[in-house]
Amino acid sequence: MADYASSENITNTTDEEASLGLKLKDSPVYITFLTILVVVCVISICTNLAITFTIFFNYSKNLKTVPNILIANWAVADLITLILSPIVNVGYTVLEYDSEGVIVFDFLAEFRVIFFNTSIFFALALVTDWCLASYFLKSSNQFRKYYKYVIASVWGYTLIFVCLSIGFNVTYGPFYIVPLVLTHFSYPILAFLVVLMHFVRICKSTNNPALTLMLATIFVVCWFEFWITMTYIIFGNLYFSFLEIPTYIPGIIIFIILYFKDQDFQTHLCIKCQRIKNISIKAYS
């Protein structure tokens, strides 16, 4: 009898989850959310590509500063998250709840969490660099001397977790818990550091421009919505799905800020756009 009751509970739970999946598919609210999500992600992908190519593919030393290189690496990690997010959300909507294809999208969703955490680590490195450059110049010189090792460590973490994710998915199933728990620790640390740096900056002025700190603040504000979304999605409120959208717009905001605040970035971006235009004219002439 106990086994029968247990199996009946599992069946009821599965039916409820499947029913919720069908409601999501049929809901115009959720379809609207998916449409907005795809549009925002496509725009953000374009801006992240512009940031990455402008910083990495140029010969100007003025543009290849440590903060800019950290931003470009962040843009690469965020780019992967932006590509995966629409695919995962649309995939879950199209496929049936108990379909075998859902396993593939579980795997991609796990990748999204890993690269989201990678983005947080690069944001942490950005805040650390600004803090050291503002108040600890000797330490800043050492940090900037070995910044490549910091970047290599972050990507090394990503590679390790990707390999573990592949191994666990093939052998046991989804590996969500470890990267997700790590994200729960890394984001509060980032938020605390950003708030602390703003407080320190008010108490003790510095000649170091606040642009980098401003970019890190954008990360914290936009990603905070991610935590609200996670909380309310548990309660099944479709309208709170829209709070996930700001998670994917930092690339757009950062591109706009760099364009108007960083003269070197603006100049090299315009040069690259002009080159692309000239190549297009030659190709069609």
Summarised one tens digit per residue, pLDDT across range 131-145 is 999 999 999 999 999
State the amino acid at position 121 in one-letter form.
F
Per-residue pLDDT at 29: 76
The C-alpha atoms of residue 38 and residue 89 are separated, in whole angstroms, by 9
Flag the least confident range among 100-104, 117-121, 208-212: 100-104
Say whether domain 55-87+100-284 belongs to CATH 1.20.1070.10. yes
Residue 176: pLDDT band (50, 70, 90) is: low
Summarised one tens digit per residue, pLDDT across range 161-174 is 888 877 776 666 66
Summarised one tens digit per residue, pLDDT across range 59-94 is 777 888 999 999 999 999 999 999 998 888 888 777
The C-alpha atoms of residue 153 and residue 65 are separated, in whole angstroms, by 19
What is the residue extent of each domain of the chain? Answer: 55-87+100-284
Summarised one tens digit per residue, pLDDT across range 16-56 is 444 444 455 567 777 888 889 999 999 999 999 999 999 98
Per-residue pLDDT at 11: 40
Flag the least confident range among 14-23, 179-188, 226-235, 275-284: 14-23
Q: How far is CA 83 from the centre of its chain?
A: 10
Summarised one tens digit per residue, pLDDT across range 103-122 is 777 788 888 888 989 999 99
Per-residue pLDDT at 99: 61
Average pLDDT, the chain: 81
- Per-residue exposure over 234-268, b if at least 16 CB sit within 10 Å of its own CB, e if not: eeeebebbbbbbbbbbbbbbbbeebbeebebbeeb
Per-residue pLDDT at 4: 40
